Amino acid sequence: MPEITFVKSALPKAGALVVLLAEGGNPSALHTALDEASGGAVGRALEAAGFKGRKGQSATVWAPAPGISKLVAIGLGAEGALTPDGAEAVGGAIWPLISAETEATLAADGVEMPVAVRVALGTVLRSYRFDLYRTMEKPEDKPKLARLAVAVDQPMAAKNAYAPFKAVAEGVFMTRDLVSEPPNILHPVEMAERCRALEKLGVVVEILTPKEMKKLGFGALLGVAMGSAIEARMVVMHWNGLGSAPAKGRAKKPAPAEKPICFIGKGVTFDTGGISIKPAGGMEDMKWDMAGAGCVVGLMAALAGRKARANVVGLVGLVENMPSGTAQRPGDVVKTASGQTVEVINTDAEGRLVLADVIHYAITKYDPKWMIDLATLTGAIIVALGHEHAGLFSNDDVLAGQIEAAGKATGELCWRLPLSDAYDKQIKSDIADMKNVGTRAGGSITAAQFIQRFVQGRPWAHLDIAGTAWATKDLPTAPKGATAYGVRLLDRLVADHFEG
């Protein structure tokens, strides 16, 4: 992650200079200063390139003045029309153009400070690389830029405004690291141990073993893990930010007795499908079937890192779903921690079994104000929504609306789908309280209906992130690979509706 520093507006003596220009807008002071230093060559070069400041437009002028390696001009689109996530996309577009430089300055003196901060954040988010296992990469193929200086009129104010975003970016990177790891490295036991890193931020971390989960009646979660040689784990992460000093601008201090909110993540570190085994093609992607849990871990890091004034509990159920002589079979009946029984029709519908026990634990242990679970739960959600939106299901209209708004504010979009008795009837079992799958029709909805049977009427939402957890191409603020979808959305949700 490149370091972001905020500096006084002054023409740099070396490195690349990035300038931002709205369509029809006036160049910033640094842009004008460089043009003058180049004897007008910068303006002539941009005019020759047809650069008008249109959204998504960019142009490069090489060696425009002594010491300056290149000028990178980025278009902002129509003046005054730039949204926060649009500003981040601008920052994301900057990174590939400057990553090979050893020094770079972003001339943000021509835009408002909140825009400058979000552009810097977008650059950082786009800079992510997972290269832990690349041993043959040539040095010239690696990014060199370790620090980006952002020139603004009020550096200290910008630094303070950027601080919470930096904490969130670090949470995003933590999630991306977890989701990117190969499954022979990141199995349930290892992932649980990595959660202990949150203790340095003040998060209380508790790890439950199979012995402890068996005493709690976790028949559904442990049933999924039966086929693996690696033990299951459940991790509980508690951040109580109510005891810290009130943040500036807070209208009230939340009461110490305020109930927590709970975030619950599906953590299947590798999913073969079990006895209902998946096709071989593309099965390697199932290393990221723990992306819901990865999101919860990164979210807890973000909240603790920015010292959120909130009482939050993150819970992740960690298992590996493997076929073996000890694996759960189609036709088995398991008893969940809630006492409800489930007929397992398809062992590849395992994530909802994991969530059922963890959700019950969250309710009985913490009596939460509301709950949100995240899971790469169904391929059906990709058929329905593609890779543009996560599927949102909820029994609470207010909570659902707040999640949708937070998604729009951060660019992590979701789309609400229905829940109803008609869908619930599809998971009725002939021999148990329910079965773990319905028909192929409405598969994402019946999966959500299954989870809803364990929430005991509490305000709850389910995010099916199967289509958004992993990108097969570069995105504006995320390179190809793990996206960490959900970290920023849920951090924004907490900030807007739970911190007072």
Burial of 141: CB neighbours in 10 Å, binned 0-12, 13-18, 19+: exposed
Instruction: List active site positions.
Output: 278, 352
Distances (CA, A) of 302 to 167, 203, 495: 5, 11, 11
User: In which residue are the tokens 């929504």 written?
Assistant: 385
- Compute CA 78 distance to the chain's CA centroid, rounded to the nearest angstrom: 29
- The string of DSSP codes covering 439-471 is -STTHHHHHHHHHHTTSTT--EEEEE-TTTSEE
Distances (CA, A) of 88 to 105, 168, 368: 17, 14, 33
**265 touches 316 (CB < 8 A):** yes
Torsional sign, CA 335, 338, 344, 345: positive
Residues with Cβ within 8 Å of 38's Cβ and at least 6 positions away in sequence, in order, are 64, 65
**Alpha-carbon span 224 to 321, nearest angstrom:** 6
Burial of 104: CB neighbours in 10 Å, binned 0-12, 13-18, 19+: buried
**204 touches 237 (CB < 8 A):** yes
Residues with Cβ within 8 Å of 441's Cβ and at least 6 positions away in sequence, in order, are none
Amino acid type, 412: E
Torsion of CA 347, 349, 350, 355, to 10 degrees: -150
- Comparing C-alpha atoms, which of 9, 31, 13, 33 is closest to residue 22? 31
User: In which residue are the tokens 């977008």 written?
Assistant: 122
Tokens coding 491: 């951090």
User: In which residue are the tokens 């773990």 written?
Assistant: 436
